[in-house]
Structure formats: structure tokens, C-alpha cells
Amino acid sequence: MFENMLIVNTALSSFNNAALYAPFFLVVGLMLMPLFFMTYVYGTDFVTKLGWNRGNFDNQISFWTALSLMLWLMLFGGNYAVIRDGISVVSVVIALVLFVLMINIVQNSIQLHYFSKIHKKKYIMGILSVLALMAFFSSGNNWFEFLLQISAIFCGFIVGVYAKKDAKIIPGNIIVLGVMTVLVLMQPEFFRFGQMGNLTPIHIFSIIFVGFCAITALTTKYVRAHGQIRRSVYIKLKWLLRIVALLAFLLFVSTESVPVFIGFILSIGLSESLTIYHRKSVPDDLYKYSFAVLLISFGILIICPLISAIGVLYLSSESKDIKYPDLLGLL
């Protein structure tokens, strides 16, 4: 009576309509609060028994974050039938993300001596084959997307093996999470986030908050305090950037435009960079705190509780002295 594609599209439409009025990611996040609280209280003791220590903590966080996001991307299996445009960049961007994540995973595996525990090459090839098979079944509905994502897995493995082992690992994760946030905004139907042009204030605030945490983590990592800007000049420049950010925010709320969102986040980053450069000092753990909050909020946004739990663990272990007002003070 009904065609299969019509039934699928109707079901997806019903799901998205429900998500517009009761965002599913927010409901799941609220229901997982007891689990996050238990992770905050007991998580550090648990991972210490697994061999996590001060020397390898960043590597462990980076490895498990990258692995969780890669498995989520492949097992989630976004439905390409909901994409509005005939030519979409979703598969290409996902392939690039898988490529970078694979490099990160391999580099961290070498630094954490995971490869040395796998004595035979056939085991490594077996793991790669499983990952390639997962990428095969989770990609699009044509051969180009199949080959693109499988190639991303193998190329990322090769580059990760031969790349420099002292590469910065955490900033790479921050950039990937930022790109994924933009991708969610570009194709909300694909990621079961809602429908472009019909996002509720909860959707918009959540996207803005995750983008704010991502750009804050980058600025607090790379911008250093100098205290060399005159106060009168600083105040004028600060208010100029605030006005630009406010106008970009209002334009984004009214249009939900991806370029406007990127411009808004960049204006926030410039404002924060000016504040940090003007100050004589900033808390050392502010970068770690913003990265932990980014992991928590991003995991809730894409409904991946493991990433949020990793963020809670990083928050409880690395940034206990930082408070949330320290982040808002950068604005």
C-alpha cells in the first residue's frame, strides 16, 4: 500500500517534529545526571585502578574521546535520505573527521604502549578490518561514500604511525569537536537534531554554548597574558567586539545561518583573546576546565553519554580550582 521510502520518510518527519518541541538530547542529558554525578565522585579512583596517572592522563582522555566519537560516527549511521541537497558535503566532512580521529587514536595508542601489547600484525589488521567494515555499513548509499570513509580509516592509520609522536593531542580534539558542531548545525536532520529553520531556543542555545566552549578552549590554550594594552584602548576594543558579537548573535538567532554562526564564534574568540592578552595572568587550569565543559556539553548535544562522562572525569581530576564564572569573565 505504501512504498518503503515513504514510510521511512514519514517516520523521520515524525521524529523531527517531536524533537522540535521536546529536544531528545536535553531529556537524555537530564536523565543521565545521576550517572555524571557518580562519575564525578568515584571516576578518578576507578580509572586510577586501570593505570591512569598524571603522566598519561591527557593521552588517555584524548584517546578515549577520539575513539568514542569515531565509533559514534560509524555506528550512529546517519540517514542520507533526509539530506535536502542533491550534492552534500556531509560524507566528505565525516571522512575528514574520521581521518583526523584515526591519526589521534594511533598516536595515542603508541604513546600509551597499546600497540606493543598487540604482538602480531594480524591482530592490528583485524582491528582495521572491523573498523573498515563498520565504516562501510554506516556510510552513504553509493560507492563513492563507501570508498571515501574506508580510505579515511586506512590513511589515518598510516599517517598516525609515521607522524611525529609529539604532536599536540588535545587541541586536535577541540578542533574536531568544533567542526562536528558546525556540521550538526549544517544538517540537523541528519544528526536527529531537529529541522533547519525550526530550531527552538533550546537547540540554538545548546549549539551556541558548545561553540563558545570550543573557541574558549582554543584561546585559553594558545593566547598568553601580557598586560601590555592600555586600559582606555582595551575598553574601546572590547566594546567594539562585544557589539559585533551581539549583532552576529541576533542575526544567527533570526536566520540560523551557518556562516553567521561561524562569524559569531570567531568574534567571541577575538574578544576572549583580547581579554587574555590584556590581563597580567589567567588561571592555569582555565583551558582544562573549558575543554572538560566542551566534552560534557558536546556529548549531551549528540547523545553520546560516554564523551560527557569523559568530560566529567577530566573536570573532576584536572580543573577543580576553576569555577564557571571564570569562563564568563572572558566575555
How far apart CA 81 and CA 72 sit, in angstroms, is 19
Single out the residue of 176, 156, 165, 26 nearest to residue 102, CA to CA.
156
- In this structure, the number of other CB atoms found within 10 A of the CB of residue 262 comes to 16
Domain boundaries of the chain, sorted by first residue: 23-52+200-331, 56-191
Q: Is a pLDDT exceeding 90 seen at residue 172?
A: no
pLDDT digits (tens, 9 = 90+) for 180-233: 999 888 888 778 787 777 788 888 999 999 999 999 888 888 887 777 777 778
Report residue 321 as a C-alpha cell: 580550582
Highest mean pLDDT (candidates 51-65, 104-118, 241-255): 241-255
Task: Say what the pLDDT of residue 188 is.
Answer: 83
Residue 316: partners with Cβ closer than 8 Å, 6 or more residues away: 39, 40, 41, 43, 44
Report residue 122 as a C-alpha cell: 594480524
> Per-residue confidence at 7, pLDDT binned at 50, 70, 90?
very low
Q: Using H for helix, E for strand and C for coil, what is the string for 194-259?
A: CCCCCCCHHHHHHHHHHHHHHHHHHHHHHCCCCCCCCHHHHHHHHHHHHHHHHHHHHHHHHHCCHH
**Which uninterrupted H or E stretch holds 266?**
helix 258-278
Residue 61: partners with Cβ closer than 8 Å, 6 or more residues away: 170, 310, 313, 314
> Per-residue confidence at 86, pLDDT binned at 50, 70, 90?
low
Q: Is 63 exposed, middle or buried (0-12, 13-18, 19+ CB in 10 A)?
A: buried
Name which of 5-14, 115-124, 318-327 the model is least confident about.
5-14
Q: Using H for helix, E for strand and C for coil, what is the string for 28-93?
A: HHHHCHHHHHHHHHHHHHHHHHCCCCCCCHHHHHHHHHHHHHHHHHHHHCCCHHHCCCCCCCHHHH
pLDDT digits (tens, 9 = 90+) for 23-50: 788 888 888 898 888 888 888 888 888 8
Q: Is the separation of the CB atoms in 308 and 64 below 8 Å?
A: no
Name which of 60-69, 232-241, 264-273, 304-313 the model is least confident about.
232-241
